[in-house]
Amino acid sequence: MKIAIAADHGGFLLKDGLRDRLRAEGFEVADFGANSAESVDYPDYAAAVARAVAAGQYERGVLICTTGVGMSISANKVAGIRAALGTDDDEVSLTRRHNDANVLTLGARYVDLETAARLTRIFLETQFEGGRHARRVEKIAALDRAARD
């Protein structure tokens, strides 16, 4: 599975560790930066990953900032993106099973590398359940289309 990952200055250390962990586990991971503690703007990184995922270049995205919230708000502005902030195992599992989330956002202030790696593995390995949830996800897509009109 091809994954795009990015972070701002608040998340780059966790992003680097998570990227290396995912590669060691066999995932193909493209790193969109940032690569230092120099202050940057999280919407720029969210947009780069979200657009690449929405375009089908990557199956999933992972975005990290201090809280995970700014990345989530920004990524969800891109049509076709269903970005979800992940804080615990059950929440991440449900957002895959019910929302077909295609971007996971994490808050570096609240999750350590072990937790981030576990949440990301759940995000990557859990399947969408479809059925009644597909109808609801289609209604999210309709909101994207309505925003374009």
Segment 60 to 79, residues that bind ligand RB5, using CB under 6 A: 65-67, 69-70
86 binds ligand RB5 (CB under 6 A): no
Closest separation in Å from C-beta 4 to ligand RB5: 18
Q: Identify whether the C-beta of residue 47 lies closer than 8 Å to the C-beta of residue 20.
A: no
Q: How many residues bind ligand RB5 (CB under 6 A)?
A: 8
* 32 near ligand RB5 (CB under 6 A): no
Residue 70, classed as helix, strand or coil, is: helix
**CB of 115 vs ligand RB5, minimal distance in Å:** 17
By the rule CB under 6 A, 100 interacts with ligand RB5: no
Q: Please confirm, yes or no, whether 9 is among the known catalytic residues.
A: no
With beta carbons less than 8 A apart as the criterion, state whether 30 and 5 touch.
Answer: yes
Say whether residue 49 binds ligand RB5 (CB under 6 A). Answer: no
| Interface with ligand RB5 in residues 111-140 (CB under 6 A) | none
Residue 145 CB, nearest distance to ligand RB5 (Å)? Answer: 27
Of the pair 27, 108, the CB lying nearest ligand RB5 is at 108
> What stretch of H or E contains 5?
strand 2-7
Length of the chain: 149
The strand pairing partners of 84, in sequence order, are 104
What does the longest C-alpha to C-alpha distance in the chain come to? Answer: 45
Distance between CA atoms of residues 9 and 37, nearest Å: 5
Catalytic residue numbers read 65, 98
